[in-house]
Structure 1
Amino acid sequence: MKLAMNAPPAHIYEFDDFRLDAGKRLLWREGAPVPLTPRVFETLLYLIEHNDAVLDKERLMEAVWPDSIVEENNLTQNISTLRRIFGETPGSHRFIVTVPGRGYRFVADVRQREAEAGTHSSPAAEPAVGSGTAEPEHIPAAPQSEPAVRRNFTPIVVAISAALALLVATQLIWRGQTPRETFPSSSAAVVLPEKSIAVLPFANLSSEKENAFFSEGVQEDILTALAKVADLKVISRTSVASYVAGPGRNLREIARELGVANILEGSVRRASGKVRVTAQLIDTQTNAHLWAETYDRDLTDVFAIQSDIAQQIATALKAKLAPEEKTRLDVRPTSNPEAYLLYLTALGTRDQLEAEKIYMQAVALDSSFALAYARASILNSEMADDPPRRARARAQAEEALRLAPILGEAHMAVGLYLYWGEEKYDAALKEFEIAAATLPNNAEIPDYVAGIYRRQGRWREAETGFARAQALDPRNRSAAFLAANHQLFMRQWDAAAAGYKRTIELGADSGLPVLGLAYVEVSRNADPAAARRILDRLPADSARAAGVIAARWDLAMLERDYDAAEKIPIEPLPDQAPKVFYQGRTALARGDLESAERFLNEATAEFEKRLRNDPDAPVRHGDLGLAYAYRQMKEEAIRETRRAIELEPESQNAFHGATAAAKLALVYALVGESDQAITLIERLLAIPGPLQGLNYQSNITLGDLRLRWEWDKLRNHPRFQKIVAGPEPKTVY
């Protein structure tokens, strides 16, 4: 048989929800194109052409790379990419099976037919595969519609059209236009998955304040129940929270913003031991009411309402409801009605401390209430910097898992504690994988997993995880900001800028995304003036924030305007570098050595005090090392900064380890160890991670290296001159 790359046969291959056109070199999924790089396409085509046959790895590599000698890792990466697109998880391979010691076997049922003229749109309108000689740096995964069994928390599920709309939106919002202008017209080819839904906040028809929490809890409980159905795409709570009930809601517009085809809305009335819940399911494309129901029940029977609603909606949307999913929907989390009402109230409570108290009140009424234990543990893990909270998180997670070994939220609680409480990343990943199998639409899990992947140096997988979280929670400002930060750390400047603009568009309530956007102008363009113009757009309240003021100081230092820097009223927060550290560096840069020594001595004393109070914290050693370096205490500076790396090396935490190594490079530069500094810079400039934003003097980017006075001792060195002359080296992930 001739290989596909030499003479593509005019065949159409269909399997599961996918269709592959060998002649046009295209892959579709439920009618939407799936972008593939040329080599990934060739790998898939060869597997399909030899369906159900065991293919040796050597044979596959020879077929896909006929003119090259490549490492086995290249094939492994292609297989991993395909598995992400198919939504496969370890041990559950419906498409590609690994044959130990041999290779791979494509096991899906493949149907083959001849391609017909005019079957699809013209090639010019479709994303061509292999149209260029170079493979793209980023491999987009599947479009927004998702596989029937979706138990992996890594696939990217953002439709190509939605991504383009997002890019247009972020550009327009920063040209003075409103978000409304960024939505596609009714004729735009935006594919909304039929089995997708957003549960909007229910109207609270009761008068008491406590019933508002109860109403929110009912809405979230219904949302959570629906999210357990793998065949549905369910938008997370954060993204729907702003669409409060009322006559002004434009359901079609909301659906477009959230990327769903269907909306569930309703109301809750609670009085005299009774509850009335009304709900209606609307197809926003046709405005048809697909299902509606009014439930009049005793308050003690409220759990049955959400279970019934979830199953009715799954039926209305023709979603596949696996037997184990139906079982999970039917299982009552507690037999105590009062405990369940407290649980619903806690779900609707935004204050974390108060919510944790209410969960534990529920547990006091029913000591076997595993779900309440799990929710309380998750809240405490999010406050794990406090040792007592960390201890509570562990105890609650362990009790939840003991009571309900198959409860997804219990595994999520254990995973989060292992991640944030003990930094046991592999163990945490195992727990998150178990949790994701029963909570396929949970947007927090892929965020947590992405954070772990980043610490493990799995940057591309982390990128996929952050994108997955955004797809499930598209209007979550925190998710958008985390994803933008990750693009920044990966040196993907344009993507980072778009992500920060997206976060701003979502109405971020702090200056952090604006600071990120401003820093892109420094890292990408070495243009502090452009960065300052971005900061000037901040409203007065945000402009007075300590971080923004410190960023303005940093920009003045980047422009070598030391008079302006000296006049900026810096008032750092307690956990930030002390004010005298800023004053000392300003004085040192302008040549006022006497003032610099006075300020830096005081700053050093403060850093030494912090280290005594927290001797095992790598950042404390790194900060003290920098203070020593500014004072030319060479031996002490190198010792402390190396100690920071020893405590948390890149092999243990790729992100923190890289930033610690960047501090060491700066220390070497400041104390005159030029060759060691440049050697480190050469390595760090080609990897993701060693950069954090404005007000971090040790960032390793071409912009920072060109602008910051701290690197001046290296400027006459030929190796450094070659580095700053550019171009920026390709980042190795």
Structure 2
Amino acid sequence: MSSDTRQLRFHGYRLDPVRRVLTAPDGTDAALAGRAFDVLALLIRERPRVVGKDELLAAVWPGRVVEENNLTQAISVVRRALGTGGGDHQFILTVPGRGYSFVAEVTYDDESGLPHALEDTGRPSLRPRRWRLPLAIATLLLLALAGVLLLGPGAGRAGPPAPASLAVLPFRAIDNETVDPMLEMGMAETLITRLSRATRLRVLALGTTQALGQTDPLKSGIALGVDFVVDGHVQRSGHMVRVTARLLAVPDGRAVWAETVDATPERVFEMQDSLASHLAAALAQRYALAGYSSPCDGADAAAHRAYVRGRYLLNRPNPRTLDTALASFEQAIARDPGCARAWAGVAATRRTMVMVADRDPEVEFPRSDAAIDRALAIDPSCAEAYAARGFNQFWYHWDWAASEASLRRAIALDPNLVDAHFALAHLLNNLGRHDEALLEARRASALDPLSPLVNTLVVWFVGMADHADEARARLAKVVELEPDFWIALSSEAAQRMQAGDKDGALRLMQRAVEVTGGNSRSLLYLGTLHAASGDTAGARAIMAALEARARHGYVLPSTLASMHMMLGEKAQALDLLEEGYRHHDLGLAFLSSWFAGLAGEPRYRALLARMHLPPPPATAGP
């Protein structure tokens, strides 16, 4: 690393290379140490040059063999310390396929304490910075291009103004002794749900504000690009809980509303409803909707805590978390049988178990349908229940028109419901309505832009629409946020294979298999990579393992059909698909996209006709 001992300044931050301390604009020391500090120091020293990943690994981890994930995690730590997220390039610009560049203006303090501008070499300069204007223009062009990619070809044309947006940050404990993550997360989640239903605001999902990792509310709001931000604190004192919340306008930081409420732990739920109602009232003149009532009225804080835990786990689906998610929702229902959203959570978990945890659809989907019926009996306007019903009508009942109606009903009830937008995107894509599907997928991503699950699956949609650069950028963001998310690992492995990096692809896919405990979907993707690379023996070994599992447990016939198709055994694949049709295998809902390799086979065309699905698109996803 550099031996330069001068203190550096940028945007109010001060970097001291001797003490190895990064000081924030408010005078506090930012949480940055170890390799993350070295990465930041090196990027600043080399600015504005793009520093390659291999160069960074060699310089920061000299003499060691480390994975690229170590670097992405260090970059993520640096961004959090600087109050930015993966999509914010105020300080560090990610250049896909190349590396990273530090793009903020930097000065240094000389002995007199006066700041001087730095040249690219790190030496002081008195010459005009001629590159500033071109860099600013380039940045604006990049932002304009990103807007076109994100919003579509009409993004630059005049149209109706975008709805006002709001982010609710995770509440924070005032001191370490009273930290209660589920209470703090639950407070934010409740406000998000209430405001989504009670106002016309576009309210970002909690996962995005969590992933941002920002402690300064105004910086968070700017980074997320919202008009309002809500932040709050939780403090326990004896048998009482005190919650303080405030609503700030962005970017000026004007306080629009603030309130402090005290309650016993048993009355926390009522306190949450009270805060949400008062906050909605503060926005009533311009944004409130009439006729809203909570679907989970009650006073049981433990029930709400269990519900929040279930949603958190369900949003990170793998075989090891889904059982715990289901138990959490059932615990919420046991304490508060009137919590319609918990019943919808049960329905969503059972559906997801079929895809992720190798459960029998003829067992789990009827149970899921029953939970949806309970939810709607309790609250006929429960948006989550309509979204769950739309998913089931799509994956299991194969009633495309009813599914679309349910999902659009869910969106009408709650325009900010990410699951409904994303399910609708999948449905429309399977029906051949690809432009509409891409629009819904981008809406889902806009509502939860830092969700690993949403962004990983949106990669498929944008890739099908020939937006390869956007697909790569989205996947890079997911890997940076959550390096071990198995669906992202699978997608990255596919990209590596397409680029000719067979070893890298197989290594990533092996990791995905480990993360899931070897669920059939991850094994299928691994077998597909073996087959695509010409390793027939490796593919057949995985085929044998899946067949053995099917004899003693459950594997979707469509999963086995995919392996046979990759091995060129089309007759066996079609036999299995016909078996899947008889047993409501959810893979049949994706017949056009997952099994495009069977195009031209008469039995395949007959199945498509029975399913009322269009022929496969030119590009198909996994």
TM range (shorter): 0.5 to 0.7
Once the two structures are superposed, residues 488-537 of structure 1 have per-residue CA deviations (whole angstroms, 9 ceiling, x without a partner) of: 234443332233234334454347647646755775xxx52xx469x49x
Over 3 Å counting, the alpha-carbon distance change for 1:609 and 1:172 in structure 2 is: closer
Distance 1:578 1:367 in 2: 40
Q: Structure 1 residue 323 and structure 2 residue 258: aligned?
A: no
**Residues 202 and 447 in structure 2, CA contact (< 8 A), matched pair in contact too:** yes
**Residues 510 and 526 in structure 2, CA contact (< 8 A), matched pair in contact too:** no
Structure 2 SS opposite 1:324: coil
Q: Which residue number in structure 2 is paired with residue 404 of structure 1?
A: 379
Q: Which residue number in structure 2 is paired with residue 662 of structure 1?
A: 597
**Residues 165 and 184 in structure 1, CA contact (< 8 A), matched pair in contact too:** no
Distance 2:394 2:467 in 1: 26
* Counterpart selection for 1:429 from 404, 415, 418: 404
Over 3 Å counting, the alpha-carbon distance change for 1:448 and 1:208 in structure 2 is: farther
Deviation at 1:362, TM superposition (A): 3.4
Q: Which residue number in structure 2 is paired with residue 494 of structure 1?
A: 469
One-letter amino acid matched to 2:223: E
Once the two structures are superposed, residues 334-360 of structure 1 have per-residue CA deviations (whole angstroms, 9 ceiling, x without a partner) of: 34x23x432234314544533433432
Q: Structure 1 residue 360 and structure 2 residue 353: aligned?
A: no
Q: Structure 1 residue 395 and structure 2 residue 359: aligned?
A: no
Deviation at 1:484, TM superposition (A): 1.0
Instruction: Summarize the alignment of residues 457-606 of structure 1 with structure 2, pairs less than 5 Å apart.
Output: 457-510=432-485, 513=488, 516=491, 519-520=494-495, 528=500, 531=501, 535=504, 543=507, 545-546=509-510, 576=523
Distance 1:227 1:583 in 2: 45
Distance 2:94 2:601 in 1: 36
Over 3 Å counting, the alpha-carbon distance change for 1:661 and 1:437 in structure 2 is: closer
* Counterpart selection for 1:333 from 289, 296, 312: 296
Over 3 Å counting, the alpha-carbon distance change for 1:498 and 1:363 in structure 2 is: closer
The percent of aligned pairs where both chains have the same amino acid is: 20
Over 3 Å counting, the alpha-carbon distance change for 1:249 and 1:663 in structure 2 is: same
Q: Which residue number in structure 2 is paired with residue 372 of structure 1?
A: 342
Q: Which residue number in structure 2 is paired with residue 240 of structure 1?
A: 209
**Unaligned residue ranges in structure 1 (runs of 5+):** 1-161, 537-541, 551-570, 590-595, 630-636, 668-683, 693-733
User: Matched residue pairs, number?
Assistant: 457
Q: Structure 1 residue 687 and structure 2 residue 610: aligned?
A: no
Distance 2:526 2:534 in 1: 13
Bigger drift between 352-361 and 613-622 goes to 613-622
Q: Which residue number in structure 1 is paired with residue 571 of structure 2?
A: 639
Q: Structure 1 residue 258 and structure 2 residue 224: aligned?
A: yes
Bigger drift between 301-310 and 399-408 goes to 301-310
**Residues 531 and 566 in structure 2, CA contact (< 8 A), matched pair in contact too:** no
Over 3 Å counting, the alpha-carbon distance change for 1:475 and 1:218 in structure 2 is: same
Distance 1:588 1:358 in 2: 43
Once the two structures are superposed, residues 521-561 of structure 1 have per-residue CA deviations (whole angstroms, 9 ceiling, x without a partner) of: 775xxx52xx469x49xxxxx946516899xxxxxxxxxxx
* Backbone CA RMSD of aligned residues: 4.8
* Counterpart selection for 1:310 from 276, 280, 294: 276
**Residues 565 and 597 in structure 2, CA contact (< 8 A), matched pair in contact too:** no
Deviation at 1:584, TM superposition (A): 9.4
Deviation at 1:219, TM superposition (A): 1.6
Distance 1:410 1:208 in 2: 38
* Counterpart selection for 1:275 from 234, 241, 246: 241
Deviation at 1:644, TM superposition (A): 5.0
Q: Which residue number in structure 1 is paired with residue 303 of structure 2?
A: 342
Distance 1:368 1:618 in 2: 38
Q: Which residue number in structure 2 is paired with residue 177 of structure 1?
A: 100
Structure 1 SS opposite 2:287: coil
Deviation at 1:313, TM superposition (A): 3.4
Deviation at 1:295, TM superposition (A): 0.8
One-letter amino acid matched to 2:201: L
Deviation at 1:242, TM superposition (A): 3.0
Structure 1 SS opposite 2:258: strand
Over 3 Å counting, the alpha-carbon distance change for 1:510 and 1:578 in structure 2 is: closer
Structure 2 SS opposite 1:383: helix
Over 3 Å counting, the alpha-carbon distance change for 1:474 and 1:549 in structure 2 is: closer
**Residues 230 and 245 in structure 2, CA contact (< 8 A), matched pair in contact too:** yes
Structure 1 SS opposite 2:453: helix
Q: Structure 1 residue 221 and structure 2 residue 217: aligned?
A: no
Distance 2:496 2:164 in 1: 41
Distance 1:294 1:366 in 2: 26
Distance 2:402 2:380 in 1: 16
**Residues 484 and 512 in structure 2, CA contact (< 8 A), matched pair in contact too:** no
* Counterpart selection for 2:558 from 573, 593, 618: 618
Q: Which residue number in structure 2 is paired with residue 418 of structure 1?
A: 393
Distance 1:583 1:243 in 2: 37
Distance 1:587 1:494 in 2: 28
**Residues 347 and 369 in structure 2, CA contact (< 8 A), matched pair in contact too:** yes
Distance 1:379 1:200 in 2: 26
Instruction: Summarize the alignment of residues 121-140 of structure 1 with structure 2, pairs less than 5 Å apart.
Output: none
Structure 2 SS opposite 1:228: helix
Over 3 Å counting, the alpha-carbon distance change for 1:458 and 1:647 in structure 2 is: farther
Q: Which residue number in structure 2 is paired with residue 452 of structure 1?
A: 427
Deviation at 1:468, TM superposition (A): 0.2
Over 3 Å counting, the alpha-carbon distance change for 1:508 and 1:465 in structure 2 is: farther
Q: Which residue number in structure 2 is paired with residue 554 of structure 1?
A: none
**Residues 380 and 389 in structure 1, CA contact (< 8 A), matched pair in contact too:** yes
One-letter amino acid matched to 1:465: E
Instruction: Summarize the alignment of residues 56-75 of structure 1 with structure 2, pairs less than 5 Å apart.
Output: none
* Counterpart selection for 2:171 from 194, 197, 202: 202
**Residues 452 and 488 in structure 2, CA contact (< 8 A), matched pair in contact too:** no
Once the two structures are superposed, residues 589-620 of structure 1 have per-residue CA deviations (whole angstroms, 9 ceiling, x without a partner) of: 8xxxxxx7xx8987776676567676972342
Q: Which residue number in structure 1 is paired with residue 55 of structure 2?
A: none
Over 3 Å counting, the alpha-carbon distance change for 1:648 and 1:316 in structure 2 is: same
Distance 1:212 1:611 in 2: 40
Deviation at 1:238, TM superposition (A): 0.7
Structure 1 SS opposite 2:241: strand
**Residues 443 and 472 in structure 1, CA contact (< 8 A), matched pair in contact too:** yes
**Unaligned residue ranges in structure 2 (runs of 5+):** 1-84, 106-134, 148-160, 314-321, 582-586, 603-613
Distance 1:655 1:169 in 2: 39
One-letter amino acid matched to 1:363: I
One-letter amino acid matched to 1:292: A
Deviation at 1:473, TM superposition (A): 0.8
Distance 2:452 2:262 in 1: 37
**Residues 655 and 689 in structure 1, CA contact (< 8 A), matched pair in contact too:** no
One-letter amino acid matched to 1:368: G
* Counterpart selection for 2:416 from 419, 432, 441: 441
Over 3 Å counting, the alpha-carbon distance change for 1:399 and 1:516 in structure 2 is: closer
Structure 1 SS opposite 2:95: helix
Distance 1:685 1:419 in 2: 18
Q: Which residue number in structure 2 is paired with residue 386 of structure 1?
A: 359
Q: Which residue number in structure 1 is paired with residue 250 of structure 2?
A: 284
Structure 1 SS opposite 2:211: coil
Deviation at 1:225, TM superposition (A): 0.8
Deviation at 1:205, TM superposition (A): 4.3
**Residues 383 and 413 in structure 2, CA contact (< 8 A), matched pair in contact too:** yes
